[in-house]
Amino acid sequence: MSVKKFVVGCFDDEKTLFPAVKNTRKAGYKIHDLYTPFPVHGLDHAMGLRETSLHTAGFIYAITGTTTALSFMGWVFTKDWPLNIGGKPNFPLPAFIPIIFELTVLFAAVGMVLTFCYLCQLAPFVKKDHFHLRATDDLFVMPLEVTDKTNVEEVKAFLKNAGAVEVFEKEAETGWWIGRYDKDRKIFEKEEKTVIA
């Protein structure tokens, strides 16, 4: 677990969000992430995120599925337990293709879902810090990472100037952890220190 200090700016409109993201990057501040109530088209480009490698992972899972199906069925029906089914050859490729296809899809789908959950740090019983609860409702939340040397007041003024409707400082856990909010004293203590500007 690593706890970092953030200055959080909240926006209530996409129209102010996009120029704000652009100006923040230009000013050199480090955007931790953006939390939006719904998927916003083009935000990934605005934030300068690289293309995801999820589809490459998907392709690798898919060919793993293809190979698994083909080699397993091939081994079973030629080496391990050859059966004569309707006089067909022991390695009947056309009959294997539906199963090869299904296993390809299955491996790709399950693999990609799990990879996606890992990349987004989503899993049952796992906790992540919220920067603002209204990010799930009607606010676009942009936390900026700051250090002890940063002039926090300047950052706050900058965000206000960029059109944020709410600006505050917050120390938050950046990663995920297994646990409960009410038992995890450390996080709770930090919660109380939060200063609402």
Question: Which positions touch another protein (CB under 8 A)?
Answer: 41-42, 51, 55, 59, 86-88, 94-95, 97-98
User: Please, what is the minimum distance in Å from the beta carbon of residue 94 to another protein?
Assistant: 5
The full DSSP string for the chain is --EEEEEEEEES-HHHHHHHHHHHHHHT-EE---B-SS--TTHHHHHTPPPPSHHHHHHHHHHHHHHHHHHHHHHIIIII----STT--SS-HHHHHHHHHHHHHHHHHHHHHHHHHHHTT--TTEE---S-GGGGTT-EEEEEEE-TTS-HHHHHHHHHHTT-SEEEEEEEE-S-EES-TTT-HHHHHHHHH-EE-
Choose between 45 and 149: whose C-beta lies nearer to another protein.
45
Q: Please, which residue, 28 or 87, has the CB nearer to another protein? A: 87
Rounded CA-CA distance 80/40 in Å is: 53
The CB density around residue 180, as the number of other CB atoms within 10 Å, is: 9
